[in-house]
A and B are shown apart, each in its own frame.
Chain A
Amino acid sequence: MTQGALERTHEPVNWLAAVPEYQGILSWLTSVDHKQLGILYIMSAFGFLVIGAFLGLTIRLQLMFPMAHVVSQDQYNQIFTMHGTTMIFFVGMPLLFGFAVYLTPLMIGARDMAFPRLNAFGYWVYIFGATMLFFSFLAGGGPAAGWFAYPPLSEKGYLFNSGQNYWALSLFVTGIGSVATGINLIVTILTMRAPGMTLKRVPLFVWMILMDGFLVVFSLPALNAALVMILFDRILNTKFFDATMGGSPLLWQHFFWFFGHPEVYILILPGWGAISEVIPVFSRKLLFGAGIMAASTVAITFLSFGVWVHHMFTTGLGFAPLYIFAVTSLLIAVPTGIKIWSWLATMWGGKLRFTVSMLHAMAFLIQFTIGGLSGVGFAVIPLDWQLTDSYFVVAHFHYVLVGGMLFSLISGVYYWYPKATGRLMSETLGLWQFWLFVIGFNGTFFVMHILGILGMPRRVWTYPLGMPGWAELNFFSSCCSFILVGSILLFIYNVIWSFYHGKIAGPNPWNAWTLEWLADSPPIAENFERVPVVRSRRPLWDLQFGSGGDGEDNHA
């Protein structure tokens, strides 16, 4: 049986702009279609990515020379607070949800999400929350307590403008939307899979999203609770975090990082999912050890709730409480390592195709390994005592979130863009963008490891003349940050250019195997005319070769 054998009732439309159901702005503003919402999520995330990138560029300009004065200290503090908050909550989270709600129903052979209206609610609440936070600049000044907003600094006694209130309210509102979408994803994956698609046969991407849903649902409420407490402190004069009145600043740190550490995995899991689809397809092989891949994701999900104190190793909590978290933090390196080896083993013996998507995936492997290894260093508490809150930690988490998350999701954009729009992205522009991205990213952030080792603390507005190496390394990093931002703009340009001029893709341009490639590109409103019975992790492979052909995982 081949694809052509499926009967058609629709005339296929091969370009997103030509889909009859999607005509007019109103169809987008009022949509409950998971594909439209997914595209809206991702487009909004790219919009905020550009804003966040320019905020980051301002930071680099200020630090380019010692004792520079590009922005004032007060502005600088608002800028790095907004850079972090924007990138985590208004870029990372919506990218995750965009990929998740767009792809999940297609990959499991469903018509839409389980709760389409809740899906729309999640998106609009995110837009509302993000807009509210940026509005704070017009309402007397932005937040300035950093993205983890430690009290007492974030209390009104120290930051009395309304920016910090907007910050807490905005994240609270988006947090509610995130929990709703998390629940929606879990229910969709658990109840709406195509016939024959057992949980062992869902694509790895969907498996990662399922775990991600649980992470969101169990960790975001901790942040939301803490946000309500800080709002009460600021507005109703409660004393949750006021040590002079019996409160505890450490309480916030526990609440925040109980959310904050799983958040890192929330952001990286969709990226891992994308890599787990991209690498097999462009190596023409099954994902190596798919079972242990899925199991290691479950292990990470559980462990990630037991490592939050590693953000607090310098708070003097005593040997036993600190050491327990060192052990869990070291352990989480094992399932993470398993993933790296499995991806490498998938490529081994394959027939590699170096598309731009695959190039991003391979750069991800290297950069994420660096970010992971420096993370192991932070689990070794005595090293954390030296290096935490220095530029080393800035280097570390940018290697995880940019070198890891952003590289893998951009790999995913190149891979799924033809599915969503009907056109392929330009590989020529893509190659330029890829190399500029690699050079700009590593140039900007690798030297920050050294700056941390030289003793430069993070979040400093400036640094004195005459500190050995600081001026040179900061200058180098700032120069490379222009290349990095340039590559991001080039990427956005490619997304727009290819929408109008890209080659028509057809349903399955990569000769891939998961169900979304069975649908038209772009998929029709109900996704599928008819969904085949799924017998393995690679239903399209089975359609092509038939059961008993080359599809060795037919019984998986």
Chain B
Amino acid sequence: MDLKNADFTTIFNVASAQNKWLVDLHWFTLAICTIIFFVVAGLLIAIIAKFKTPENDDGSEPKQTRGNVRLEIIWTVIPLLIVTVLGVLTAIVMLIVNPAVGSKKPDLVVVGHQWWWEYQYPKYGVTTANELYLPLGKNSLIEVRSADVVHSFWVVAFGQKMDAIPGHPTNMWIHPTKKGLFLGTCSEYCGAQHGLMRIMANVVSQEEFDAWIKAQSVVPVPSNDPAVARGKEAFNSATCVQCHSIAGDAEAKAKIGPDLTHIAQRKTLGAGVLENTEDNLAKWMQNPQQFKPGCNMPNMRLTDEQAHDIAIYLESLK
């Protein structure tokens, strides 16, 4: 996958209003921890330098001390004050970053599957997979669900991650503040392909987002190319339709695998393992296990010709 266009992924690359708070809190905590560390390390070094037994030691025992109540109170009370400050800041940032949802409806529903992501935009009736679009400058409420095992949705530059737990929908807010492509990976271990369950989040302007939604809402019309017709025929007669759905194709209605309605608009295949080209798509269909061992799509045992036709058909679904 070509990651050249992706923004540098670190938690300090702030791409959401929420992550700004997280990062500020992070620097503050890091500063405190660094100071404490250097106090401890400095004391240890001083002790080593100062209290090493000298060469000409007389073998006498050093002065014995049992403790010092004042010192002990100091090193109990100061840490208590520090954790109190951290505790108060924790509450403040938590409430700012994730305010109560109340009866608000989600803008985006993320569903984790083994090993790909489904994205539903309930307000527009749009469903897509693996490549996510969010409008810049709007606080989006995201609901995270799971279709099978526990996953975790984490786009690094957005800051917060949220687990996808079966039977326990969770919520978080993301307010993107920077345009671009931001990367993530499933971050709760979920089985064979956990490491290749990638997230590609595109933050675009409101206009671009509206245009994208509009394009997604159109039912694609396959062209009159005979190869396309052959491909559609092959797609519908092979077992593809038992897992995938394509709007406008009466036979493809299943919801097990990714929705393929506008697959030609996506940049990657297999949750980011391959670039989306006709060639790659044909190869993928002939042996998905080669690219993503353990994934739930079986080898379809297609001939080269069938695979080629289906790839032409799918790539016509713009």
Contacts and interface: CB of A to CB of B under 8 A. Distances in A.
Interface of A: 72-74, 77, 144-146, 150-153, 158-159, 243-244, 248-250, 283-286, 288-292, 314-316, 319, 322-323, 326-327, 330-331, 333-334, 337-338, 340-342, 344-345, 347-354, 362, 365-366, 369-370, 373-374, 376-377, 379-383, 385-390, 453-455, 457-468, 550-553, 556
B104 interface: no
A152 B44 contact: no
Given A382-B25, A465-B3, A552-B66, 15 more contacts: A73-B195, A283-B51, A286-B65, A290-B67, A323-B90, A338-B76, A348-B47, A349-B63, A351-B57, A352-B47, A388-B161, A455-B11, A459-B189, A459-B195, A467-B3
A144 B193 CA distance: 12
A373 B36 contact: yes
Scoring A383, A454, A468, A553 by chain B CB atoms within 10 A of each residue's CB, the highest score goes to A383
Contacts of B12: 453
A347 B53 CA distance: 12
B64 interface: yes
B43 interface: yes
B8 A468 contact: yes
B170 A315 contact: yes
A61 B183 CA distance: 25
B150 A153 contact: yes
A376 B233 CA distance: 60
B65 to A, nearest CB: 7
Given A334-B80, A362-B44, A349 B65 contact: yes
Main secondary structure of the interface of B (DSSP, over half): mixed
B4 interface: yes
Nearest to A322: B94
B68 A366 contact: no
B89 interface: yes
A244 B160 contact: no
A380 B11 contact: no
B22 A385 contact: yes
B286 interface: no
B83 A334 contact: yes
Nearest to B71: A345
Given A333-B83, A351-B62, A373-B36, A386 B160 contact: yes
Contacts of A349: 51, 62-63, 65
A153 B191 contact: yes
Contacts of A389: 152, 154, 161, 187-188
Top 7 nearest A-B pairs (CB, nearest first) are A243-B167, A316-B170, A460-B195, A455-B156, A289-B67, A457-B187, A243-B166
B110 to A, nearest CB: 12
A319 B96 CA distance: 11
Contacts of A158: 114, 148-149, 191
Contacts of A348: 47, 51
Q: Which of B8, B21, B61, B168 has the most CB of A within 10 A?
A: B61
B62 A285 contact: yes
Interface string B1-45: 101100011111000000101100110011001001100110110
Contacts, number: 274
A314 B44 contact: no
Given A250-B165, A285-B62, A314-B163, A464 B3 contact: yes
B184 interface: yes
Given A350-B51, A455-B11, A72 B293 contact: yes
Contacts of B126: none
A466 B11 contact: no
B65 A457 contact: no
B112 to A, nearest CB: 12
Contact of A334 (B67, B79, B97, B161): B79
Contacts of B90: 323, 326, 330, 379-382
Interface string B142-159: 001000111010101001
Nearest to B185: A457
B55 interface: no
A550 B67 contact: no
B47 A347 contact: yes
B168 A316 contact: yes
Contacts of A290: 66-67
A347 B51 contact: yes
A249 B44 contact: no
A74 B9 contact: no
Given A323-B90, A381-B90, A351 B51 contact: yes
Contacts of A314: 152, 161-163
A253 to B, nearest CB: 9
A152 B148 contact: yes
Given A344-B43, A366-B44, A463 B170 contact: no
14 contacts: A74-B192, A144-B191, A150-B189, A249-B167, A285-B65, A323-B90, A337-B79, A344-B44, A353-B53, A369-B40, A385-B159, A386-B11, A455-B156, A461-B194
A249 B165 contact: yes
Nearest to B160: A385
B48 interface: yes
Contacts of A388: 161, 187
Contact of A150 (B48, B150, B159, B172): B150
Nearest to B78: A337
A385 B22 CA distance: 9
Contact of B37 (A73, A77, A285, A370): A370
B67 A365 contact: no
B95 A382 contact: no
A343 to B, nearest CB: 9
